[in-house]
Amino acid sequence: MNTQPVILDTDPGVDDALAIMLALGSPELDVIGICTVSGNVPLKTGTRNAQGLLQLLERTDIPVFAGADQPLKRDPVFATEVHGESGMGQAVLPEPSQEVKGDAVDFLIQTLSDQPGEITIIAVGPLTNLALAEQRQPGTLQKARQVIVMGGAIVETGNSTPVAEFNFYADPHAAQIVVHSGAALLVVPLDATRQVILSESNIENQIAPLQTVASQFVVDATQNVLALYRQLGREPIVYLHDPLAVGAAIAPELLRVETLYIDIETSGDLTLGQVVTDRRSLPPPHRLGKPVDCAIHVNAEAFLSLFLKRIF
């Protein structure tokens, strides 16, 4: 089997941790580095989470690079109400033994320049690091084999505002730069990720009884999310947002993809971070935005089965 070298760019909250676990448990992927960015939690917390998770999973051979500690232009926003103050719910990670290897933006530029057309980037946090790499050295993202982005909401409602998904809301200017970069881009928006659910019964009946280090971590990490949904009077579930972006690299056949003309709104009190899709039946030169592959449907049952098999 040919393994695909990947860089994970992440803001380690709970579903980011699940995405990292899925990537590390998949023989199709060779994770050559993890880059961290401010997002679900502040940069320092997220970086420590990435290191602690690698320590827990006994994969300290994978280097961690710390990236942007704030968005390009807007004030930082976090999602600690979902992920807990630590970003890992109730889970406690071990003290990491490894040091941060360097700057994430430098690592992205250097690696993509050294191995053009070979590396897949899977970005599951705000896109600040990718945008900074593109700003510092234009054309950098075009050197990636593919850039898979978990972000945005196309027809679905947002999860940070009525129209915006968290990653694009947290740094809309970065999302716009990446959309306009000319990279081989696949966006995995809420439209697809809300189709893949880890239910409370999955956690209680399929994960908790395994009684391994990894299963206990997942049980503890997901407690905050489940509690938040109960508090909101909703069914307690965990959406597998970020793992699905990793799934797109492992098993792209599970996703149905459409090429849509999209752009990202970078201003507006109500619309900041919104994905605007030009669905007008005009010839392409007259449409606004850029043509981007967007995952709009997923075989949820097959993905959940793959996810559970790989991370345990």
Q: What pLDDT digit, counting tens, does each position of 192-223 carry?
A: 999 999 999 999 999 999 999 999 999 999 99
SS3 of 138-162: the string is: CCCHHHCCEEEEECCCCCCCCCCCC
Q: What is the pLDDT of residue 192?
A: 98
Annotated catalytic residue within 83, 241, 286, 297: 241
CA–CA distance from 82 to each of 36, 89, 115, 177, 311 (Å)? 19, 8, 37, 27, 22
Domains in the chain, number? 1
Asked if pLDDT for residue 1 goes beyond 80, the answer is: no
Whether 297 is a known active-site residue: answer no
Residue with tokens 């199709």: 28
Mean pLDDT for the stretch of residues 243-255? 98
* Two tokens, residue 140: 């950098």
Asked if pLDDT for residue 184 goes beyond 80, the answer is: yes
Domain that holds residue 87: 4-311
State pTM to two decimals.
0.98
Q: What is the CATH number of the domain that holds 58?
A: 3.90.245.10
**Of 278, 9, 7, 299, nearest to 167 (Cα)?**
9
Angle between helices 213-221 and 14-24 (to 10 degrees): 160
Non-local CB neighbours of 114 within 8 Å, separated by 6+ positions = none
* Two tokens, residue 122: 């899977």
What SS3 class is residue 301?
Answer: helix
**Of 34, 69, 30, nearest to 54 (Cα)?**
34
Residue with tokens 């050559």: 32
pLDDT class for 85, splitting at 50, 70, 90?
very high
Q: What pLDDT digit, counting tens, does each position of 15-37 carry?
A: 999 999 999 999 999 999 999 99
